[in-house]
Structure 1
Amino acid sequence: MLELPLVTAGETLDQFINGLTVGMVYVLLAAGLSIIFGVMDVINFAHGELLALGAYFAVAITTAGIGNFWVALLVAPLAVAIIGGAMERLTIRPLYGRDPLYHILLTFGLVLIFVDAIELIWGTQPFRPLDTGVLSGTITILGFQKTLYSYFVIVMGAVVAAGAWLVLERTRFGLVVRAGSMDRDMVRHLGIDIDRYYTLVFAFGAFLAAVGGVVFAGRQSVGPGMGGSVIIPAFIVVVLGGLGSFRGAVAGGLLVGVVQSFVRWQVPFLEGLVVFLLMIGVLLIRPQGLFGSPEWHDPGEGGELLTAAGSGVLSTRRRRLLGGGMVAVLAIAPLGIGVLYNSYVVNTIVVDILIWGLFALSLDLVMGYTGLVSLGHVLFYGLGAYATVLFAVYLLPSIWLALVAGILVAALIAWVVGYLSIRVSGVYFSMITLAFAELFASLALKMPGLRAQINPTLDSLGLPTIPPLTNGDNGIGADAITYGLTGGPEFGDVSLLGEIHLYYYVILALVVGSYLVSRRLIDAPFGSVLQAIRESEQRASFLGYDTTMYKRRAFVVSGALAGLAGGLRATQNLGRASPGFLDWLLSGEVIVMTLLGGMGTLYGPMIGAAGYLSLEELLLSNGIDQWQGVLGIVFVLFVIFVPRGIVSIPSLVKQRMDSSSEAPPEGEPAEVSD
């Protein structure tokens, strides 16, 4: 039976103080995140890395003997504020006026850069918590002991939050910032350099995050990945309180901290699930959050989503011939094993490109053609992997039936998630898909604990118990998945229907088939409606189309294809699925690939996947450990300068050449028309 421990008033108060302490760290992080969005409409995925930088700078200051905890608390946030200001000026400022999607994409690229930069400078080993001096002592209040540091965090967080609110609401700086968030051009016409104020706002948000990082470093060890571990809770906080609402960030941070503390104490196997369910519930019932956006926030419509459609220089016929030639090259690729390259090139690198290309293709259907930015698309990829493996484990070890099961499960969950998520739009849609993905990822980790709690009750009632479904961190795998085919033609030492090469052709056929089906859908009236929705959903609705229905159908097809990609990846992974298949960073990577290649084309994202993975392999083969940082730099440059992706480069070059040829010779005046 599921039993909850008996509690006392002292224990309850102790957990409440723990929750407030953690909540104040969330407040400091989420407040900066919310201010930046409320003023600048920028969703900053690199905000967690700014917190991590604050923590690492504090470690550097204290371990180098430059100063103690108090010096670090002042100096580290100022240093991070300078870095934040530079981020805004160099990378984010060129994107103002574009669709908010580009801010998300850009800051994800910055995450890759910051993570590798931190590991390059400080290594991969964690550091001990900071020495907080007298704050490490204990104090007795109402009969129980608590570290003085916990009370310090609560008081300091409250003071910093109150000071930030006063700056925004009671100073000239805050007045200009609030006016600029509503009408930037109007403020600029008044002779005020609003861009400089935006830089200061971003630096201020970075400062708050770094303060949270220093406080965090005083409680627990500092190590790689800490930024990624706090950014999802930070988004939960700002969504619960209301995107752009400072008061909401404070209330949401304290609420999440207290809820996490009590759930961890009373029902630890539900930790992580409750807050995501809370986030989903708030987004469905009240998307603007508990407090909503402040009155001075007016997000507007945003700029155009820059797809790569129509940016090519080749005719449709030539593109088809080129695509057919590429498929032919891939079909004979196994014949070069042992002659031109080893089997690793075909059975690992090329297979990875094909699977990720299919995953990116699936995302392009909803992002490039429908304008829906799904930050949780990894959910369907992971579900496809798990469903494929579980079918092979408990039913039949046939790869064909197992893959069908993965597709169906992913499509079913995509229908449910799409039915709920498409009620909201824009940033809220992105956040709710992320919440669903994190909910399932947490569930995959918690499943063994849930089984341990539920199975005794089911057994006592004479009901069937729940079999192992995920095995937590260990993952679950099938001993063997059969193809149902053996033998086949042989070319030298290469058997084209041998177990390994048969799998290669299975993937190639499924990926090419998926592309052809997707192309058929996009070329049909269904695809035309999707593109009309992307351009202007309101106009499409006025024309009589049920835009919600079309978006849901596209979401289901996209989820099914992502499930197929996950199933293929699981079978490539020796028939094993693990929580890593649901890591939210995979959603970021596939978004990078989609934009890198050129979204809105179907083939562009596949090219982006090939370019991304090929560059990764090149960097790794040359011993460059910071390959993610290099990829991040490349991606950031593409977002800023080549937002339509790789497939648009030939047209850009052609335009440049045409403009050069039309320019008059040097020293000769240009012709002036009447």
Structure 2
Amino acid sequence: MVYVLLAAGLSIIFGVMDVINFAHGEQFALGAYFAFAIAGPLGGAGFWVALVVAPLLVGVVGMGIERLTVKRLYGRDPLYHILLTFGLVLIVNDLITSAWGKSAQPFPIPPILDQPVALFGFNYSLYNYGIIVFGSALALGTWLLLNRTRFGMIIRAGSEDREMVRTLGIDIDRYYTLTFGFGAALAGVAGIVLGAYQNVSPTMGSSVIIPAFVIVVLGGLGSFRGAVVGGLFVGLVQTFARTYAPFLEGLIVFLLMISVLVVKPTGLFGTSVGAGDHHDGALLHGSGGGVLSAETRAKLGYAGVGALLVVPLLAEVTGVTYSVTLLEDILIWALFALSLDLVLGYAGLVSLGHTLFYGVGAYASVLTLMHLSPSVFVALAVAVAVCAAIAWGVGYLSIRVSGVFFAMITLGFAELFYNAVFKFDFTGGPDGLFGVDAFYGLAGLGVDPGEFAVPLGPFVHDGGVVQYYFLLAVVVGSYLLARRLIRAPFGSVLQSIRESEERASFIGYDVTAYKRRAFVVSGGLAGVAGGLFAADNGYVAPSFLHWINSGEVIVMTVLGGMGTLYGPMLGAGVFVAAEDVLSSYIDQWQLVTGVLFVLFVIFVPRGLVSLSRTVADHPLFESAVGGRFRDRVGEQAGVTDPEVDRRE
């Protein structure tokens, strides 16, 4: 019943507004914490007061979020809702930890509900039965609200044809705000119910959001009936798996999710309406958005690589050796973002499960170093081969569907592998694999970082220098390979698919085959990124496959400017560096990062590479300079203004 309440709110928001709300889990946690704060001072009656007041507060917070942020993105591709709400996850989670701390807190239920009750041969507390009764009543009341009231009629009509509703004189935007608040309130109720049953903790939101998405996908995106049936079904399946097939616990629901998406993408009760059909926006790539010519960008690229080459030397001279470690992290994430850009920025495929290839590449690399060869070259080759093979299989199944459904099926595969690595001994289970030594060479010819030492004046460079320069060479080589692919006819076809898949198909291209090939190349490069991190640090853990990595790499790609190759790498550098600097000075660094990212998604959707163009196009700036700077930007970027052309 907790799943039913959680998924119902998520499904209602998507069905009416086409918003994939990743912050729904944090609203779930916020309801639990509001109830915890209200119930404490009030004593025995506090729980009942909190059960009414806390969801209302969460609903108000939800309405504020919709009015201030989500409302600005209506009409855009659903990817931007995902990005926006991912930023909201960082903000809300940091606010929760700032207010209540990072430790779990007990939230006791009233003594009257803690009494054991025997019913039909089962002996549970009255609270357990109360959850079932209360959840059922609330689900029934929600159904009646949606199907038997004027409010429900309007939001159902808005989910079918929102422009027609506006034409009838109804302020549908106000109903959107109420709908978002109502969905958030349902999540808050679920958080209260589960928080009192267990404990309240800052991680409770992230632990339920993925199962919630599984439920709405199984039942049908946007279908309230599907959310109810899916919630009950997933809860029963998990319980039976935990009791009778522990090995399948955590796996079977994702297998079901993938199967449903492959066979019937709209789910058991879903329809094509409400699956992203209402937006008319496209993915906004950053190409042509800057003030620098291609030659100038190339020169800056050469200068950047040259600066990276001398960083280890400067680090030794200045004593700031940590800068080398930070740059290694940036380079690895830059390669990861580059791999995603091939499918997101050029093929228009939103992969929410790209961390699958990053994590599998890391595991393949470490297992190769432990059991096959100590050579990093061999380990990375195995990582590429394994990830490319998995990418082909995942792509073969996933690329049959598109849009939101493609994003969800890739998320399902990533979660399937994430849960699987906990089950096997050869993957190290929850502890992962540690203590791996790497050799940079083949057949005994090469460099052992543990024994490498080269004196240079008063300084001695150790094996870390070898790791750094090898990493830099691989990242630069991967960028050049990706650029070569994009400049070839293959890349031109990908870009035509991104602009209009239907037209590309009409002129004779096998669109599915091209997207699958891009997905394979992208998966291989992501595997290299994961393999490099694992080889450099000597360990791998299940966290490499956690969905949060997929969210962060999408953030980096869009932050820098997708569809440019260098933009996502720039975004990775800014994101990782900002995270490192902010976390060194303030505890609420996630809050600052989240706020900045939300602002970027709303106001600079084409990324950092287009920042100058965005500023030049702003009405205030344009009125101040008379459009002269804007025209100069267009000339430098190779973009012409049709108004200018007509004047000429």
Find out whether 1:397 has 2:362 as its counterpart: no
Q: Is the 8 A contact 2:76 2:280 kept in 1?
A: yes
User: 1:641 — aligned with what?
Assistant: 603
The verdict on how the C-alpha distance between 1:297 and 1:384 changes in structure 2, with shifts beyond 3 A counting, is closer
User: Amino acid of the residue matched to residue 64 of structure 1?
Assistant: P
Alignment of 1:646-657 (within 5 A): 646-655=608-617
The verdict on how the C-alpha distance between 1:192 and 1:105 changes in structure 2, with shifts beyond 3 A counting, is same
Alignment of 1:216-255 (within 5 A): 216-255=194-233
- Following superposition, the deviation at residue 654 of structure 1 comes to 3.9
- Following superposition, the deviation at residue 596 of structure 1 comes to 0.7
Which of 446, 455, 471 is the equivalent residue of 2:428? Answer: 471
The verdict on how the C-alpha distance between 1:529 and 1:297 changes in structure 2, with shifts beyond 3 A counting, is closer
User: 2:550 — aligned with what?
Assistant: 587
Counterparts of 1:180 and 1:121, CA distance in 2: 38
Alignment of 1:16-95 (within 5 A): 24-65=1-42, 67-95=45-73
Q: Is the 8 A contact 1:178 1:297 kept in 2?
A: no
User: Amino acid of the residue matched to residue 107 of structure 1?
Assistant: T
- Following superposition, the deviation at residue 115 of structure 1 comes to 1.0
Find out whether 1:481 has 2:438 as its counterpart: yes
Which of 363, 367, 374 is the equivalent residue of 2:351? Answer: 374
Which of 267, 283, 293 is the equivalent residue of 1:305? Answer: 283
Alignment of 1:318-467 (within 5 A): 318-346=296-324, 348-448=325-425
User: Amino acid of the residue matched to residue 581 of structure 1?
Assistant: F
- Following superposition, the deviation at residue 661 of structure 1 comes to 2.4
SS at the partner of 1:140?
A: strand
User: Amino acid of the residue matched to residue 72 of structure 1?
Assistant: A
User: Amino acid of the residue matched to residue 419 of structure 1?
Assistant: Y
List per-residue Cα deviations over 1:503-535 (Å, max 9, x = no partner).
Answer: 000000000000000001011111111111111
Which of 96, 99, 118 is the equivalent residue of 1:118? Answer: 96
Counterparts of 1:142 and 1:480, CA distance in 2: 59
Q: Is the 8 A contact 2:145 2:152 kept in 1?
A: yes
Q: Is the 8 A contact 2:222 2:274 kept in 1?
A: no
List per-residue Cα deviations over 1:455-511 (Å, max 9, x = no partner).
Answer: xxxxxxxxxxxxxx2111211135421113346865324556x41101000000000
User: Amino acid of the residue matched to residue 422 of structure 1?
Assistant: I
- Following superposition, the deviation at residue 139 of structure 1 comes to 1.2
Q: Is the 8 A contact 2:11 2:216 kept in 1?
A: yes
CA RMSD of aligned residues (A): 1.8
User: Amino acid of the residue matched to residue 345 of structure 2?
Assistant: G
User: Amino acid of the residue matched to residue 68 of structure 1?
Assistant: G
User: 1:517 — aligned with what?
Assistant: 481
Which of 260, 263, 266 is the equivalent residue of 2:244? Answer: 266
List per-residue Cα deviations over 1:330-365 (Å, max 9, x = no partner).
Answer: 01111102323511111x111011000000000000
SS at the partner of 1:566?
A: helix
Q: Is the 8 A contact 1:29 1:209 kept in 2?
A: yes
User: 1:159 — aligned with what?
Assistant: 137
- Following superposition, the deviation at residue 302 of structure 1 comes to 3.5
- Following superposition, the deviation at residue 642 of structure 1 comes to 0.5
Q: Is the 8 A contact 1:33 1:205 kept in 2?
A: yes
Find out whether 1:602 has 2:565 as its counterpart: yes
User: Amino acid of the residue matched to residue 561 of structure 1?
Assistant: L
User: Amino acid of the residue matched to residue 539 of structure 1?
Assistant: R
Which of 469, 478, 482 is the equivalent residue of 1:505? Answer: 469
- Following superposition, the deviation at residue 659 of structure 1 comes to 4.9
- Following superposition, the deviation at residue 186 of structure 1 comes to 2.1
Q: Is the 8 A contact 1:178 1:296 kept in 2?
A: no
- Following superposition, the deviation at residue 658 of structure 1 comes to 5.5
SS at the partner of 2:421?
A: helix
User: Amino acid of the residue matched to residue 491 of structure 1?
Assistant: L
User: 2:643 — aligned with what?
Assistant: none
Find out whether 1:617 has 2:569 as its counterpart: no
Quick check: 114-123 or 136-145, which moved more? Answer: 136-145
Counterparts of 2:489 and 2:435, CA distance in 1: 42
Counterparts of 1:267 and 1:483, CA distance in 2: 44
SS at the partner of 1:139?
A: strand
Q: Is the 8 A contact 2:74 2:279 kept in 1?
A: no
Q: Is the 8 A contact 2:216 2:226 kept in 1?
A: yes
List per-residue Cα deviations over 1:610-649 (Å, max 9, x = no partner).
Answer: 1111111111221x12211211111100000000111111
Q: Is the 8 A contact 1:181 1:297 kept in 2?
A: no
Counterparts of 1:517 and 1:495, CA distance in 2: 34
**Percent identity among equivalent residues?**
60
Alignment of 1:530-569 (within 5 A): 530-569=494-533
Quick check: 426-435 or 146-155, which moved more? Answer: 146-155
Counterparts of 2:126 and 2:272, CA distance in 1: 35
Counterparts of 1:277 and 1:298, CA distance in 2: 24
Counterparts of 1:367 and 1:345, CA distance in 2: 30
Q: Is the 8 A contact 2:557 2:569 kept in 1?
A: yes
List per-residue Cα deviations over 1:225-256 (Å, max 9, x = no partner).
Answer: 10000001100100110000000000000000
Which of 610, 615, 628 is the equivalent residue of 2:590? Answer: 628
User: 2:457 — aligned with what?
Assistant: 492
The verdict on how the C-alpha distance between 1:330 and 1:163 changes in structure 2, with shifts beyond 3 A counting, is same
User: Amino acid of the residue matched to residue 634 of structure 1?
Assistant: L
- Following superposition, the deviation at residue 64 of structure 1 comes to 2.3
Q: Is the 8 A contact 1:393 1:477 kept in 2?
A: no
Counterparts of 1:236 and 1:298, CA distance in 2: 17
User: Amino acid of the residue matched to residue 484 of structure 2?
Assistant: R
SS at the partner of 2:199?
A: coil
Counterparts of 1:488 and 1:230, CA distance in 2: 49
Q: Is the 8 A contact 2:365 2:383 kept in 1?
A: yes
User: Amino acid of the residue matched to residue 384 of structure 1?
Assistant: G
Counterparts of 1:583 and 1:663, CA distance in 2: 47
> What are structure 2's unaligned runs of at least 5 residues?
629-646
- Following superposition, the deviation at residue 663 of structure 1 comes to 6.8
Paired residue total: 619
TM-score by length of 2: 0.93
Quick check: 250-259 or 313-322, which moved more? Answer: 313-322
User: Amino acid of the residue matched to residue 529 of structure 1?
Assistant: V
Q: Is the 8 A contact 2:78 2:276 kept in 1?
A: no
Counterparts of 2:41 and 2:502, CA distance in 1: 59
Counterparts of 1:378 and 1:294, CA distance in 2: 28
Quick check: 88-97 or 139-148, which moved more? Answer: 139-148
- Following superposition, the deviation at residue 128 of structure 1 comes to 1.3
SS at the partner of 2:124?
A: strand
